[in-house]
C-alpha cells in the first residue's frame, strides 16, 4: 500500500530527489528566460492568446529550446538519483538533484536561446498591448 512506502526513509529520499530532478530544470529555464533572455519584459496580452503571431507561440505552439533544456537538465539530474547505489559517490550527488537540474537547464537554455538554431527574437509589442517591465 502507498502509505506503507513512506515508513521507509529511503523511499522519502528517492521521492524528494526525483521531484527535485524534474522541478529544478523548469525553474532554471524560467529564470534564464525572464531575467537574461527577455530582460524582465512581458507582453501580457500575448500570454492569453493562441494566435500564431504571439510572442510566445515559438514553433508550433511550444518552445523547442525550453523543452530541450528541460529534458537534458532532468536527465542529468536523475542520473545520480538512479545510479546512487551503483556508482560510488553518486549517492551524495543525488541530494543536490534540484541544483544540478536547475544549473544545467539554465545554462543550456541561455546559450541556445541566444545562439542556437531556434534563437529568440526580440519582443514585438502590438498596438494597445500591455508591456510589463520590472
130 pLDDT tier (thresholds 50, 70, 90): confident
For the cut 90, the answer to whether the pLDDT of residue 20 exceeds it is yes
| 8-state DSSP, 42 | E
What is residue 109's three-state secondary structure?
A: helix
Q: State pLDDT tens for residues 85-124.
A: 777 777 788 889 999 999 999 999 999 999 977 777 778 8
Under a CB-based contact definition with an 8 Å cutoff, are residues 34 and 66 in contact? Answer: no
pTM over 0.75: yes
What is residue 134's three-state secondary structure?
A: coil
Exposed / middle / buried, residue 22 (Cβ in 10 Å: 0-12, 13-18, 19+):
middle
Q: What is the pLDDT of residue 5?
A: 72
Q: What is the pLDDT of residue 97?
A: 93
Task: Give which of 73, 39, 44, 40 is closest to 56, Cα–Cα.
Answer: 44
Tell me the β-bridge partners of 19: none
For the cut 90, the answer to whether the pLDDT of residue 25 exceeds it is yes
Q: What is the pLDDT of residue 108?
A: 97
Q: State pLDDT tens for residues 27-54.
A: 999 999 999 999 999 999 989 988 998 8
Question: What mean pLDDT is predicted for residues 14-20?
Answer: 90
Under a CB-based contact definition with an 8 Å cutoff, are residues 22 and 102 in contact? Answer: no
Amino acid at each position: 500500500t502507498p502509505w506503507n512506502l513512506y515508513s521507509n526513509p529511503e523511499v522519502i529520499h528517492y521521492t524528494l530527489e526525483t521531484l527535485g530532478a524534474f522541478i529544478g530544470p523548469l525553474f532554471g529555464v524560467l529564470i534564464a528566460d525572464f531575467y537574461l533572455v527577455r530582460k524582465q519584459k512581458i507582453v501580457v496580452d500575448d500570454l492569453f492568446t493562441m494566435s500564431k503571431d504571439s510572442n510566445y507561440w515559438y514553433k508550433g505552439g511550444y518552445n523547442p529550446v525550453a523543452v530541450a533544456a528541460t529534458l537534458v537538465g532532468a536527465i542529468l539530474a536523475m542520473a545520480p538519483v538512479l545510479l546512487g547505489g551503483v556508482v560510488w559517490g553518486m549517492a551524495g550527488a543525488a541530494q543536490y538533484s534540484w541544483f544540478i537540474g536547475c544549473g544545467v537547464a539554465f545554462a543550456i537554455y541561455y546559450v541556445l536561446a541566444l545562439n542556437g538554431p531556434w534563437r529568440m527574437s526580440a519582443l514585438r509589442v502590438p498596438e494597445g498591448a500591455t508591456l510589463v517591465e520590472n
